[in-house]
């Protein structure tokens, strides 16, 4: 919760960072009776909850569009190209603190099917209903 009491409980501050911008609002409790103070606290919690949802939505959008730059990068964060005896798309993602890794072989499945299954697995792990269209268009060339 991002509701802070300041000045010995005389002031409430609601603050959240959304898309790199700080959003904050202050609620004064000075001169208010207990009923109005409870109402102000309730409004502060409601505002915090609204901003929390906006923050999570912005984070999800940022993760969907994130790109990585590396020698083994596919352009989609969480999917890399590994070249062992043959090429494969390696999906590595953390869910609730536990790492999940799965490889999709280009030799066994073919490039298109391997990419499709890798993006589907990553989307499923991240809780997306469908695979983002931007991911499908980023399939790298496999030599």
Q: For position 40, what pLDDT does the model report?
A: 92
Q: For position 70, what pLDDT does the model report?
A: 59
Candidates 52, 53, 62, 56; CA nearest to 132 is 62
Token pair 């569009």: residue = 65
Q: Domain-by-domain residue ranges, the chain? A: 3-63, 68-136
Query: Concatenated DSSP letters for 61-108?
Result: HHHHT----STTB-SSTTEEEEESSSEEEEEEEEETTEEEEEEEEHHH
pLDDT in tens, the chain (143 residues): 688 888 888 899 999 999 889 999 999 999 899 999 999 999 999 999 999 999 989 888 877 766 655 566 777 888 888 888 888 889 998 888 788 899 999 999 998 899 999 999 999 888 888 888 888 777 777 76
Q: Which residues in 20-41 are b (16+ Cβ under 10 Å) and which e?
A: eeebeeebebeeeeeeebeeee
The DSSP bridge pattern shows strands 11-18 and 98-105 to be unpaired
**What whole-number distance in Å separates Cα of residue 83 and Cα of residue 103?**
11
- Beta-carbon-side half-sphere exposure of residue 83 (alpha carbons within 13 Å): 7
Q: For position 71, what pLDDT does the model report?
A: 62
């Amino acid at each position: 919760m991002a509701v802070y009491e300041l000045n010995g409980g005389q002031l409430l501050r609601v603050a959240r960072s959304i898309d790199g911008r700080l959003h904050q609002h202050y609620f004064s409790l000075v001169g208010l009776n207990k009923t109005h103070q409870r109402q102000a606290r309730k409004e502060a919690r409601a505002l915090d909850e609204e901003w929390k949802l906006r923050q999570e939505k912005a984070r999800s959008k940022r993760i969907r569009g994130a790109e990585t730059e590396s020698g083994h990068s596919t352009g989609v964060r969480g999917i890399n190209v590994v070249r062992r005896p043959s090429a494969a798309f390696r999906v590595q993602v953390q869910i609730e603190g536990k790492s999940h890794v799965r490889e999709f072989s280009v030799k066994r499945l073919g490039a298109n099917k391997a990419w499709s299954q890798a993006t589907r697995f990553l989307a499923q792990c991240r809780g997306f209903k469908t695979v983002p269209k931007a991911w499908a268009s980023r399939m790298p060339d496999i030599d």
